[in-house]
């Protein structure tokens, strides 16, 4: 886990952006390393540092990396599409799913028809 890796003495990306001292117990430091400044910038712009901090404090430590990654993903989606954010992607996927379900039902109906016709022909051959 990232939190067990030895930390450098430089500030994490969050504390650099917030212009504050990065303490040894900084909650952001394991997940916003100083070489990825844009990652925190995006999350801070959409959610705000204090909201992210509260969210991270609420989740168990072993789930914080996944939490940060999903927040980064949502933040990127919102910055790309300020009106719909992630919801645009959800809507597209739902439409795709419905389209595929429809196509699958059609294909299966055709297969069933083929199956019946084949059965009919075999019965005819048998008489």
- Give the footprint of other proteins on this chain (CB under 8 A): 45-48, 50-51, 54-55, 58-59, 63, 66-67, 69-71, 73-74, 76-78, 80, 82-90, 92-94, 96-97, 100-101, 103-104, 107-108, 110-111, 113-114, 117-118, 121, 124-125
Round to whole Å and give the CA distance between 91 and 105. 21
Containing 17, the helix (H) or strand (E) segment is: helix 13-18
CB of 81 to other proteins, least distance (A): 9
Those residues with Cβ within 8 angstroms of residue 58's Cβ, 6 or more apart along the chain or in another chain: none
CB-nearer residue toward other proteins: 7 or 47: 47
CB of 9 to other proteins, least distance (A): 28
If you ran DSSP here, which 8-state letter would residue 59 be given? Answer: S
Helix (H, G, I), strand (E, B) or coil at 3: helix
């Amino acid at each position: 886990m990232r939190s067990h890796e030895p930390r450098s003495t430089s500030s994490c990306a969050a504390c650099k952006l917030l212009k504050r001292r990065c303490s040894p117990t900084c909650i952001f430091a394991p997940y916003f390393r100083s070489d990825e400044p844009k990652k925190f910038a995006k999350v801070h712009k959409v959610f705000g540092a204090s909201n992210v901090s509260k969210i991270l404090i609420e989740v168990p430590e072993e789930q914080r990396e996944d939490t940060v990654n999903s927040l980064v993903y949502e933040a990127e989606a919102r910055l790309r599409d300020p009106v719909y954010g992630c919801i645009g992607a959800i809507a597209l996927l739902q439409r795709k799913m419905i389209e595929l379900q429809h196509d699958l039902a059609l294909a299966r109906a055709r297969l069933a028809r083929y199956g019946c016709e084949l059965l009919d022909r075999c019965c005819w051959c048998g008489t």
